[in-house]
């Protein structure tokens, strides 16, 4: 683990229990200064609990949370150098937009002059492109605008760390994509550390420098997005991050080959030598290419196309593979000529590089 | 929408509104009109009402200045003291109390309402009377302490009697308060006291205003508590009305006083509500 001074956030053996229920345990991770970290996991995995322990709304039952190298045990939320963008924003309904944004500035001691407060609040509003909206009431703002107000309110105090709790969950898809880019830009401009909680793997992968995947109160993998996607540490990660096909198999030949449930024998991926016994193999849908029956090739498996889902830039096929059940296959349209589009009912062969297989103990 | 459905819907609406409208018409609007007419009339020689049009009754209002004064001072002061006692209770019930016991605690606030206010006020007569607290005080050498039949006794009775009516609306507005707003305030660096004055209090103001308006209005018409605990020395407009209608049978003068009281209440209510809505900054529908 790197030294405290280069990390803005560090969890050391943190656990949180509510009565007899353990929300999270054995949490260890560090967020380097200026990094964008995403806590990703299904609902109830403990990611929000972790975020709330950084914010100071929950205290760990065990272990220590460090902010900029300082232990935060027992430090109240209002004394912490972090600010949060709340889920559904938690904007003050009795204050206008500018008053919401300047709320944090007005809490500063020694007090800041009124003119300075107004100037900084305006500056923050400009940053989120809400320049002329200062006097609006909160209920007069759209969901996307409220999102920006919450963002401006959280960055106006220049926190060391910005916490974001499912900040884009309430927005429609187009707006969400636009905000993802804006958040990334904002983070680069401000140079402060961002910690994002999300259950949306696409959001986590697209915005963050590091992804911390959690499940059932524990961290299952920490790493850069590509690593998480390309080298999932467990079947859970492979399943949760992106789409995946699972194939039941047994490891044979001292780890050198895999035998699928239908009897197909395939060389183990070069990157790993799985231990003997039964295994679960994960294969990304885009790692598979479909070959029309009769075409010469090295198709390992064969099956029948059952569904075709046209997605514009890509096509998703559902293929019933003989002896192995349904497979999902994604084909990028650029890689296909129109004549290559196979139809439901077509017999196809499935080809893939054995190195694209991820083998996990079953 | 087809016309037929529209007509049908209007009929249903009318049917639903009719009972309440009829009730208010017969028991509120018509009596009020009668009172308004009486207020400009004269007392018949043998008592009651005699048709006339005169402002004489309103000109005589100053003769009941003491009743107006007591009502106008003790009603708002009573409501204010009520508020000071009720707010912490409501805050505890809505924010601090264990949710498991909340319902029980809230019903404890309401339970006294199940017994008659008359009986409970009688109890206070004994507690404050010479055989009550003054008797105990004399044991430790404090002689001749008079509690009953003082403005203080009336105030105490008022606060005691109307406390639940103040607690409930404040409790409701605090209970609705989004806890994440308090977290957001703390997150932005506000100490608990600043959070209370910056978020909790402003957002509970509609409840506070409702409670104050409710208690003040009811107190303006209060009769029982000043009668029993004020002993005829601290009397309210309500007592003056009973006196005028039942004793001296001067209906026109009584009506003039009652009409004036209603006018005052309406003005207070309008001002209070306007302030509440402005401070809360939300649309009216959000507050109900």
pLDDT tens-digit readout, A301-323: 889 999 988 888 888 999 999 88
Domain tally for chain A? Answer: 2
Same domain, A91 and A222: yes
Read off the CATH number of the domain in which A165 is found: 3.40.50.300
Residue environment code for A315-331, b if the CB has 16+ CB neighbours within 10 A, otherwise e: bbbbbebeebeebbbbb
If one counts every other C-beta atom within 10 angstroms of the C-beta of residue A222, the result is: 19
Smallest CA–CA distance from B198 into chain A, residue = A103
CB-based contact, B95 to chain A, within 8 Å: no
CB-based contact, A4 to chain B, within 8 Å: no
Q: What pTM value is reported for the model? A: 0.81
Whole-number Å distance between alpha carbons of B274 and B266: 12
> What's the mean per-residue pLDDT of chain A?
90
Read off the CATH number of the domain in which B100 is found: 1.10.3720.10
Residue B167 CB contacts under 8 Å (≥ 6 apart), including other chains = B86, B89, B90, B93, B109, B211
Smallest CA–CA distance from B279 into chain A, residue = A94
Q: Which domain holds residue A133?
A: 4-239
Same domain, A71 and A141: yes
Read off the CATH number of the domain in which A264 is found: 2.40.50.100
Enter the DSSP assignment of B93: I
Preceding omega of A110 cis (within 30 degrees of 0): yes
Is there a domain that residue B7 lies in? no
pLDDT score, position B279: 66
Residue environment code for B38-76, b if the CB has 16+ CB neighbours within 10 A, otherwise e: bbbbbbeeeeebeeeeeeebbeeeeebeebbebbbebbb
ipTM reported for the complex, 2 dp: 0.85
Same domain, A36 and A170: yes
Residue A41 has pLDDT above 70, yes or no: yes
Is there a domain that residue B2 lies in? no
Is there a domain that residue B105 lies in? yes
pLDDT score, position A223: 95
Does residue B199 or residue B269 have the better pLDDT? Answer: B199
Q: In sequence order, what E strands does chain A have? A: 7-18, 21-32, 36-40, 62-67, 70-71, 82-85, 161-165, 193-198, 210-215, 218-223, 245-252, 257-260, 265-267, 277-283, 289-292, 301-310, 314-321, 325-332, 347-351, 358-361
Lowest mean pLDDT among A270-274, A324-328, B172-176, B222-226: A270-274
Pull the structure tokens for residue A25. Answer: 């345990």
Enter the DSSP assignment of B141: T
Q: Which domain holds residue B143?
A: 74-250+267-287
Report CB contact under 8 Å: B188, A139: no
Cβ-Cβ contacts under 8 Å, B194 against chain A: 107
Do the bridges between strand A210-215 and strand A36-40 make them parallel or antiparallel, or are there none, so unpaired?
A: parallel
Q: What percentage of residues in chain B have a pLDDT greater than 70?
A: 95
Domain tally for chain B? Answer: 1
């Amino acid at each position: 683990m790197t030294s405290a001074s280069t990390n803005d956030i560090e969890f050391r053996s943190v656990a949180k229990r509510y009565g007899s229920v353990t929300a999270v345990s054995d949490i260890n991770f560090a967020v380097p200064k200026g990094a964008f970290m995403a806590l990703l996991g299904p609902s109830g995995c403990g990611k929000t609990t972790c975020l709330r322990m950084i914010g100071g709304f929950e205290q760990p039952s065990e272990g220590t949370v460090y902010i900029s190298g300082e232990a935060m045990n027992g430090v109240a939320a209002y004394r912490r150098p972090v600010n949060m963008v709340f889920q559904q924003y938690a904007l003050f309904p009795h204050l206008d937009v500018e008053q919401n944004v300047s709320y944090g500035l007005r809490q500063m001691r020694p007090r800041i002059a009124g003119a300075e407060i107004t100037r900084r609040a305006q500056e923050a509003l400009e940053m989120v492109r809400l320049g002329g909206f200062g006097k609006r009431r909160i209920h007069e703002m759209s969901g996307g605008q409220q999102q920006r107000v919450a963002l401006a309110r959280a960055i106006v105090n220049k926190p060391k760390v910005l916490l974001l709790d499912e900040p884009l969950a309430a927005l429609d898809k187009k707006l969400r994509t636009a905000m993802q880019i804006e958040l990334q830009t904002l983070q680069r401009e401000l140079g402060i550390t961002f910690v994002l909680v999300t259950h949306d793997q696409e959001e986590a992968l697209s915005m963050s420098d590091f992804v911390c995947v959690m499940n059932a109160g524990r961290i299952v993998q920490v790493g850069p997005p590509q690593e998480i996607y390309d080298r999932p540490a467990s079947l859970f990660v492979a399943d949760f991050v992106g789409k995946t096909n699972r194939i039941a198999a047994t490891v044979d030949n001292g780890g050198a080959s895999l035998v699928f449930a239908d009897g197909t024998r395939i060389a183990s991926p070069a990157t790993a030598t799985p231990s003997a016994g039964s295994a679960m193999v994960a294969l990304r849908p885009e790692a598979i290419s479909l070959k029309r029956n009769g075409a010469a090739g090295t198709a390992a498996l064969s099956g029948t196309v059952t569904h075709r889902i046209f997605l514009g830039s890509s096509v998703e096929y559902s293929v019933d593979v003989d002896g192995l059940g349904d497979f999902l296959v994604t084909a990028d349209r650029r890689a296909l000529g129109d004549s290559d589009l196979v139809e439901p009912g077509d017999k196809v062969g499935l080809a893939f590089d054995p190195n694209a297989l991820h083998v996990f103990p079953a | 929408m087809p016309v037929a459905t529209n007509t049908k819907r209007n009929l249903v609406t009318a049917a639903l509104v009719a009972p309440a409208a009829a009730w208010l018409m017969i028991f509120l609007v018509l009596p009020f009109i009668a009172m308004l007419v009486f207020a400009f009339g004269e007392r018949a020689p043998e008592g009651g009402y005699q048709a006339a049009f005169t402002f004489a009754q309103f000109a005589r209002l100053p003769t009941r200045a003491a009743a107006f004064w007591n009502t106008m001072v003790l009603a708002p002061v009573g409501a204010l003291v009520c508020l000071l006692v009720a707010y912490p209770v409501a805050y505890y019930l809505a924010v601090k109390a264990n949710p498991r016991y909340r319902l029980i605690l809230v019903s404890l606030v309401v339970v006294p309402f199940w017994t008659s206010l008359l009986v409970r006020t009688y109890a206070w007569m004994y507690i404050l009377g010479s055989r009550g607290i003054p008797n105990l005080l004399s044991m430790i050498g404090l002689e001749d302490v008079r509690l009953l039949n003082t403005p203080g006794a009336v105030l105490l009775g008022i606060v005691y009697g109307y406390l639940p009516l103040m607690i409930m609306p404040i409790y409701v507005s605090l209970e609705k308060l989004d806890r994440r707003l308090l977290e957001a305030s703390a997150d932005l660096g506000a100490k608990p006291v600043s959070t209370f004055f910056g978020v909790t209090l402003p957002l509970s103001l509609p409840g506070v205003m409702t409670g104050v308006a409710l208690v003040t209005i009811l107190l303006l018409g209060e009769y029982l508590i000043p009668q029993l605990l004020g002993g005829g020395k601290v009397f309210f407009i309500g007592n003056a009305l009973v006196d005028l209608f039942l004793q001296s049978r001067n209906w026109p003068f009584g009506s003039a006083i009652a009409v004036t009281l209603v006018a005052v209440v309406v003005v207070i209510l309008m001002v209070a509500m306007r302030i509440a809505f402005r401070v809360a900054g939300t649309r009216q529908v959000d507050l109900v």
